[in-house]
Structure 1
Amino acid sequence: MSPTPPARATGGTPARPPACSRCGRVAPPGSGPFCPYCGRYLAALAWVAEPPPDGKPRPPVRPRFRYTGPPRYREVPRWGFPPLPWRAEPEPEHVSPLERARRIAHPLDVLLRVTAGVAVVAGLAEILRYVLLVLSRSDALPAGPVAFSDAAVAFGGWASLAGLVGCGVLIVLWTLRAREAAAERTGTVPDRPAAAVVAGWVVPGLNLSLPGSLLAEIEHAGLDRPPAERPRPSRLLLAWWAMWGAGVVLGVVAFLWSFRGGVQAMADGVVLHAVLDLLAAATALVTVRVLRHLMALLEPPRPVRREMLVAVRAPGPAAERAAGGATVAP
């Protein structure tokens, strides 16, 4: 934009001076570009926008700054990264043995209940097979019930076996973590190595006594009894120990009975498998109760809050005269 002066009159007549924009008076001819009354500049300017010479708008010019080196501060900056070494990945947090035992206890609880249900199905399938064996003594059986019985026995047997193997692996891992949590609770060191604990659950003969001893030691530590004192298992643990031992012995007997031949031996084997399946289901349910019992003992004690109820009684006339005020009785 450029200022242009105002247009002048033509025809020989001098142009009339413009009126002052401040005071409104007209200056006499020959007074100059300034108002003789107030001194304001009288020449009016008209601003006219003109396009650039080439007809294209020019982009704004960005100022270029010259590099003067790294920044300088008068004081030590308060911001920045923490003075820590470079780590490719965060360090794993320390997980306590109790937390590890808690992580194993939940899936073990679920798997034990599922295995108990499957074992009940296997036991009922064995009972159905025995009933069909009894009925086949006098007459031939249709193919439908026999095929259903065989399928139910096969499903129950393999499913219960898979459940028992899974429960066995989890309960061994849980025992290792639970005994570490018990030792940490009492401030002691486990006297048995991990290999001895695994052998106590797996090796025939040892699995009759060592699992009960391990659980009794965990219960002993959870009850905050002296470490030097002999563990005294609870009734629940003794019942589980008896059912566990009976199941192990009955399993060995059923396995050896399968090598006998004859119709009567086959019928007796069916009865043994039915009893073994039902006993395994009952043992799995009792194991769930033992697991919850021991986990509750290993949990840290919570503070007990007691509420005290205070009753405020209205004082009688004699008490007011004697004490001169109200009496608060607990």
Structure 2
Amino acid sequence: MLWFNHLQKEAPIMLKHPFYKYSFFILLIVDIAYALGLIIANSAPLTGGSALAATVWFITFYWVPVWSAAAVIFFLRNKHINKIVLEWLIAVVFMALGNVLTDIVLTLLFDGHKSMGIFVVFNGLLWGSCIYFTSIFIESKKRVTAEKHALKQAQLATLRYQLNPHFMFNSLNTISAYIHTKPDLADEVLHELADILRYSLDTAEQQQIPLQQELTIIEKYLNIEKARFGDKLKVNYHIPNSLKNKTLPPLLIQPIIENAIKHNAKQTSLTLNITLSELSNGVKIVISDNGKGFTDDVLKCGYGKGIGMKNIMLRVNQLGQSKVLLSNDNGAVVTLELAL
């Protein structure tokens, strides 16, 4: 009886399992459909007696046996006993016992009911096997979906973490250049860098963040770069206020800006344009510059030898129904069409 007492203690926790919620309604639908099928097949009228019989079948043959078998199976799984043959046998036994109970109750309630006899074993085998293996199939599908989602999130996290040392290296070079000649400016840049790294850590587990939050970090990054380039660097924003509450993956725009600055660092003047517009299913982001543009090889494959644009391509591909387009128009143009 120890296992039964333990089962009683764990019952409230196990009942939170999605199986109980979904199986109740599925079994109810099966029971109603089966009862209606018998009524139609026998051309019998729908009476209070047939409704009572259907209720008995639902409670004693479907609901109670299935939930009881599930409770025992989940109990064994919690004890790391996970054997398909054993679980299948439990399902069959409980369905057969449920069939016996149903037979007894129907015999007591209806004078004309004929005992199913040995067929209770056949019914238990048939229904127990069907219900158990259907549940196993659904579980396996859900497990595969969950694993794919986990893999996708791990890939996205890896891509995000690739950017951090890359960006930090460039920023520390800027700080190093001014730490002796302009210590106040170096200190200011260091604080901006700290804010960006803190933001990167704070949003590590977030899939979406408000655009306004991303723009704040972009401005901090540009403050670091303006400390390096001075008036050579200009940035124009074309962003409707209605879009600032839109959400998008964090640190998606900044690497594009960083890439533009990196490849046009020797220019006497560099102007960046950040333009956002709304799409029917998301948002369109266009980042252009007046630099030397993309090479033919970059336009062909979508990225160069660095990790910046390749990283962006991989991250956007993970979003689904989103894309990155590269082009030249008096400089490089990167267009993100994000389905949000």
TM over 0.5: no
Larger helix proportion of the pair: 2
Query: Normalized against structure 2, the TM-score is what?
Result: 0.27
Query: Normalized against structure 1, the TM-score is what?
Result: 0.27
Greater RCO structure (CA 8 Å; 6+ sep): 1
Larger Rg: 1
